[in-house]
Structure 1
């Protein structure tokens, strides 16, 4: 019974770390794009912003999941939670750098296209880069 309780508490703890990293990923995405994401998505129903936030959320979840799976149960719960948080933050940071680099080399500013009310193909490029970058970081954890 103690093992079930410990595993349940560990799942809650990892879930908490995951939620914190997901929120930070959202905040970073919001900071990197013009306008406020909550306004773009919930008030303006901007498809470009929705696509970017969805890709960021999925990418962050891929990294966090990989970090949890790669955390060694023998190092203890605290160290496992810490490594998950660190690797999650690395994933969010690498995805942010990827976004900025793509925005730097693209002929037009992707960050501004994200806030455009018209659907734009560049938002798909940025979204795919988020998920691809997250997969690279996740693979590095295994």
Structure 2
């Protein structure tokens, strides 16, 4: 019982550390894709569009981490490695989706995200982030 508790605690720590690292990396990607400083946009300027986009990115990464844990079937090393690999694939896919949508639609999506008015395009991009997180999480199974 103690061994199971220790193994579970190590797993929880390892998955949390990788999940946090991926979410921080995702933050920097969204910051890079949008004009200005993302932290200022969300916490100082209270920009809903930027918050929606970052939240969807974070939830998408969370879905991938959950999928990796589920697919690992108790193999901690395999789970941690697959979480890192698939998490990076997910972030790359979300970045490409953002850039493709930016290319296909009028205006610059990054500028739309930092608009003070709530923008429907941000919700569409957020849905893509969530869908991609789900797709990649299912690819693990």
In which range does the TM-score fall when normalised by the shorter chain?
A: over 0.9
Q: Distance in 1 between matches of 2:125 and 2:88?
A: 19
Does the CA-based 8 Å contact 2:15-2:65 persist in structure 1?
A: no
Q: Give CA-to-partner distance per residue, 1:115-134, whole Å, 9 cap, x none.
A: 11111111111111111121
* Residue 99 of structure 2 is aligned to residue 111 of structure 1: no
Partner of 1:6: 7
Stretches of structure 2 lacking an aligned partner (at least 5 in a row)? none
Partner of 1:133: 132
1:23-38 pair list within 5 angstroms: 23-38=24-39
Does the CA-based 8 Å contact 1:71-1:84 persist in structure 2?
A: no
**1:101: how far off?**
0.6
* Residue 87 of structure 2 is aligned to residue 88 of structure 1: yes
Q: Distance in 2 between matches of 1:45 and 1:68?
A: 34
Q: Distance in 1 between matches of 2:132 and 2:80?
A: 22
Does the CA-based 8 Å contact 1:67-1:84 persist in structure 2?
A: yes
Q: Distance in 2 between matches of 1:14 and 1:95?
A: 21
Moved over 4 A (4+): none
Does the CA-based 8 Å contact 2:35-2:111 persist in structure 1?
A: yes
Q: TM-score when scaled to structure 2?
A: 0.93
Q: TM-score when scaled to structure 1?
A: 0.92
* Residue 48 of structure 2 is aligned to residue 50 of structure 1: no
**1:53: how far off?**
0.7
Over the residues paired in the alignment, what is the CA RMSD in angstroms?
Answer: 1.2
Does the CA-based 8 Å contact 1:18-1:61 persist in structure 2?
A: yes
**1:72: how far off?**
4.1
Q: How many residues align?
A: 140
Does the CA-based 8 Å contact 1:91-1:134 persist in structure 2?
A: yes
**1:86: how far off?**
0.7
